[in-house]
């Protein structure tokens, strides 16, 4: 009986144990599925939490301005708040005479008298020098160039300028150039435009002659560059009418003082761009040139200036544009040209005269600007 009972137990064990193992596996799989579902639920909750501010922003747009304003105010430095507080307090508080500048500090009249005395001294004792400069520029450069430009047939000048535009810029702008040149002739402003062009070319030539050597020196000498930088800033920010006062006292009325004023006004760009172009040349190229035995002059003429030429041409473009802008103002001291037409339109309240003069200046500026820009773009293409 014992043997039979043991045999029945042994035979029954697979029947009992087998289903228990399967049950354990099923239970473990169910537990894993439950954990995955819990993780998924937590992920959905986190994503819901992240999307909650966006939903609130979409549903509540009135929070955005207040939130943005709060962030902007918090980003303002403390010293700005302090300065604003002091200014507001000063405007609301009555300070009496203490708010005025003390008379002991007023040195304006003294400075004005000193400047007037210096200019008078220069006019008296340097009159032969300025007279020689006036005659030289007028007789040997400006008048011959102006007479030559005005003496050319308008159709010949139009053809030459159109051909230059076609070769430098392209076909479409050459057609536009031809139309603008014909319009200048049809307006009766062709001779005035050539007179203005003569002043612009003369001023640009003098500015380039003075500006490129100065820019080279500024690129080579940091001390000289630091000394000339505030002077150039002063020349560029000074109102253009101010230049007319000393040149009229030194040279009188006419085209020569207009040229001198235009040169002073248009000189800074060519100096700055020349210095910038030379400083931007890659140092490895300079080291390679020195390794081949190039001298300082050869390094400047054959390496630095050719590589800096696109930047220098950009400066030339700015110089020409500033010269053209100043020529219009220089008509007030006898420059003539298209600027005189604009000035006559203002003086006589003739809108048509002033408008045609302004259109002529715009045409000249467009042609000169695109031609010089085309020359700048051609240089890299030729090197490639």
How confident is the chain (384 residues) per 10-residue block, as mean pLDDT? 42 43 46 53 46 46 73 86 87 76 80 86 86 84 89 92 91 91 91 91 92 92 91 85 82 85 90 92 86 85 88 90 85 82 85 88 90 73 49
> Is 133 found in the same domain as 57?
no
Residue 178 lies in a domain: no
pTM: predicted TM-score of the whole model, two decimal places:
0.72
Question: Containing domain of residue 131, as a range?
Answer: 110-151+187-383
Which residues have CB under 8 Å from 278's CB, separation 6+? 215, 216, 219, 220, 304, 305, 308
Alpha-carbon span 183 to 277, nearest angstrom: 38
Predicted local distance difference test score (pLDDT) of residue 15:
40
Q: Provide the sign of the torsion angle of the four alpha carbons 256, 257, 262, 265, taken in this order.
A: positive
Q: What is the tally of structural domains in the chain?
A: 2
Neighbouring residues of 224: CB distance < 8 A, sequence distance ≥ 6: 217, 218
DSSP assignment, residue 203? H
Are 19 and 44 found together in one domain? yes
Check if the beta carbon of residue 281 is closer than 8 Å to that of residue 308. yes
Residue whose structure tokens are 């298209």: 338
Residues 316 and 347 in one domain: yes
291 located within any domain: yes
**Does any domain span residue 82?**
yes
Over the Cα atoms of the chain, what is R_g?
Answer: 40
Is 114 in the same domain as 91?
no
**For residue 116, what is the domain's CATH number?**
1.10.3720.10
Q: How many residues does the chain have?
A: 384
């Amino acid at each position: 009986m014992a043997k039979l009972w043991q045999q029945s137990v042994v035979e029954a064990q697979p029947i009992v144990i087998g289903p228990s193992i399967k049950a354990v596996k099923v239970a473990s799989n169910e537990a894993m599925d439950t954990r995955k579902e819990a993780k998924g639920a937590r992920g959905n909750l986190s994503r819901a939490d992240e999307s909650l501010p966006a939903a609130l922003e979409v549903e509540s747009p009135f929070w955005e301005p207040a939130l943005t304003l709060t962030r902007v105010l918090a980003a303002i430095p403390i010293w700005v708040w302090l300065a604003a507080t002091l200014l507001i307090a000063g405007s609301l508080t009555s300070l009496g005479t203490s708010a005025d500048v003390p008379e002991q500090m007023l040195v304006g009249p003294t400075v004005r008298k000193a400047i007037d005395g210096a200019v008078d001294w220069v006019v008296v004792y340097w009159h032969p020098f300025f007279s020689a400069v006036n005659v030289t520029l007028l007789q040997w450069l400006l008048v011959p160039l102006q007479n030559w430009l005005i003496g050319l047939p308008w159709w010949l000048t139009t053809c030459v300028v159109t051909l230059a535009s076609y070769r430098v810029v392209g076909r479409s702008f050459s057609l536009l150039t031809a139309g603008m040149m014909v319009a200048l002739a049809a307006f009766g402003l062709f001779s005035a435009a050539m007179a203005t062009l003569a002043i612009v070319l003369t001023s640009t030539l003098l500015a380039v002659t003075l500006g490129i050597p100065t820019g080279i020196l500024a690129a080579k000498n940091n001390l000289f560059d630091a000394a000339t930088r505030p002077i150039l800033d002063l020349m560029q920010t000074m109102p253009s009418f101010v230049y007319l006062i000393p040149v009229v006292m030194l040279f009188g009325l006419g085209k020569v003082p207009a040229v001198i004023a235009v040169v002073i006004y248009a000189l800074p760009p060519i100096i700055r761009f020349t210095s910038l172009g030379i400083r931007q040349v890659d140092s490895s190229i300079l080291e390679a040139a020195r390794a081949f035995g190039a001298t300082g002059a050869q390094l400047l003429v054959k390496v630095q200036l050719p590589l800096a030429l696109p930047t220098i041409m950009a400066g030339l473009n700015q110089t020409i544009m500033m010269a053209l802008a100043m020529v219009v103002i220089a008509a007030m001291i006898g420059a003539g040209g298209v600027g005189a037409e604009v000035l006559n339109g203002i003086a006589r309240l003739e809108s048509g005269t002033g408008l045609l003069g302004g259109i002529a200046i715009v045409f000249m500026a467009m042609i000169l600007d695109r031609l010089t820009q085309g020359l700048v773009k051609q240089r890299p293409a030729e090197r490639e």
